A and B are shown apart, each in its own frame.
Chain A
Amino acid sequence: MAVNPDDTGQLVRGAAGGDEIAWRGLVDRFSGLVWAVARAHRLANADAADVYQTTWLRLAEHIRRIDHPDRVGAWLATAARRECLQSLRVAGRTLPTDDMDRLDLTPVTGNPTEDAVLAAEQEREDADRAAVVWRALDRLPARCRELLRVLMASPPPSYAEVAAALGLPLGSIGPTRARCLRQLREEVAGITGGASSSN
């Protein structure tokens, strides 16, 4: 029977039986989530890399003893969060990263044919919007920034996974998300002087 990549319980059971393809399916499904948890805790590159790698090594070691295979995403989020808290407590490793430093918004310049000009214009507008949203994110209170950074993972995490990633009650995720997205819109509007697009 082929393993269904959308059925995480099946992927866990496959990997527990030694199936490398199933393991790869788990990594593809949850890689973005584990990385987002590290980033939500504002870990710099080297520390985020340690958290990410340690979390996956732990899952590989424990794969045959996962109590709820269909909830392995929450298991990973919890493990990653614990690694983040350890990392933040190690002396000398507490300098936060600023994702803003990673922005590269240099406009693309190409041949000045009309199409290229229009394309470059569009690209610049997209980049402007991206820069504004990114900056707005950075201005949010820590709790909103953390929540949104985890929600931004690809593919989208479940609320149970988000709750595990941040140590928050499951029932608070929906309302907090709505409030934080509203605050984000307000920050975006503030940066663009109220002249932003509808969303």
Chain B
Amino acid sequence: MHNPDDELEEELRRLAASRDPVPAQLHQAAVDAFLWRDIDAEIAELVYDSLLDTDAASLVRGPADQRLVSFAAGGMTIDLEVTSAGPGRTVMGQITPPQRATVDIRHPQDTVTVEADDLGRFRSGPLPRGPASLRLRPPPDAAGPAVITDWIAL
């Protein structure tokens, strides 16, 4: 069995393994990703991301350093405006229908908690770039499960 194409592909594979392997700390981060699951929460799926919107109209919708992202779960929508702030990012959010909630902004190094007001609005301080997911907890006097958003790279 001497298929020259297969042999060359194997040589390339060895080359990639020695020249450009998966960094060990990233492999470990992938293993640790399992610990971030929240099996009781409802997942809000990513339904819009201006970065993936190739519709020409979106190009005039806002400044280039502003990204609009929407998540939906059941009857709830979470709209985010992500702004680059130097090396970091800030997030302004709107929960629809408007409601109070405690918002955990989760990223692999840390979790930052902010409060959404009666109108469902919230705002973060500076956040590091990288993966992030929001976890919305209803106020103590309201029933309902927590909602977590899909992970996105800020």
Taking a contact as CB atoms closer than 8 A, the residue among A15, A32, A83, A151 that contacts B34 in the complex is A15
CB-CB under 8 A from B30, the residues of chain A are 27, 31, 34, 52-53, 56
Assuming A86-B51, A130-B15, A156-B13, is B36 touching A54 (CB within 8 A)? Answer: no
A164 within 8 A of B: no
Contact partners of A50 in chain B: CB under 8 A: 129-131, 153
Contact of A86 among B8, B21, B49 (CB under 8 A): B49
Interface size on A, residues (CB 8 A): 59
Complex: chain A residue closest to B69, CB-CB: A86
* A108 CB–B CB distance under 8 Å: no
B51 close to A56 (CB less than 8 A): no
Kindly state whether residue B37 has any CB partner on chain A within 8 Å: yes
In the complex, the answer to whether B11 meets A133 with C-beta atoms within 8 Å is yes
Q: Is the CB of B39 within 8 A of A64?
A: yes
Q: Is the CB of A61 within 8 A of B51?
A: no
**Shortest Cβ gap from B26 to chain A (Å):** 5
A63 to B38, CA, bound (A): 11
Known contacts A53-B108, A152-B9, A178-B5; decide if A23 and B34 are in contact (CB<8 Å). yes
Interface positions of A from 28 to 74, Cβ below 8 Å from B: 31-32, 34-36, 39, 46, 49-54, 56-65
Tell me, yes or no, whether A123 is within 8 Å of chain B by CB: no
Q: Are A49 and B23 in contact (CB under 8 A)?
A: yes
Determine the main DSSP class of A at the interface with B: helix
CB-based contact B8/A23 at 8 Å: no
Residue of chain B at shortest CB distance from A57: B151
A154–B33 touching, CB < 8 Å: no
Interface size class of B (residues with CB under 8 A): 35 or more
Q: Which of the candidate stretches A3-11, A87-95, A114-122, A165-173 sits at the interface with the other chain?
A: A87-95
| CB contact under 8 A between A61 and B8, given known A53-B33, A91-B64, A102-B19 | no
Are the CB atoms of A87 and B13 closer together than 8 Å? no
Tell me which residues across on chain B come within 8 A of A149, comparing CB atoms. 16
B52 within 8 A of A: yes
Q: Is B104 an interface residue (CB 8 A)?
A: no
A37 to B51, CA, bound (A): 19
Given contacts A54-B131, A177-B5, 11 further A-B contacts (CB under 8 A): A27-B27, A31-B30, A53-B30, A57-B33, A57-B36, A60-B37, A62-B43, A86-B49, A86-B52, A89-B52, A99-B19
Query: Would you list 10 pairs from A and B whose C-beta atoms are within 8 A, ordered by A residue?
Result: A35-B26, A53-B26, A61-B36, A89-B52, A103-B19, A133-B15, A134-B19, A151-B12, A154-B17, A156-B9
- Residues of B whose CB lies within 8 Å of any CB of A are 4-5, 7-9, 11-13, 15-23, 26-27, 29-31, 33-34, 36-39, 43, 49, 51-52, 64-65, 67, 84, 108, 129-131, 133, 148, 150-153
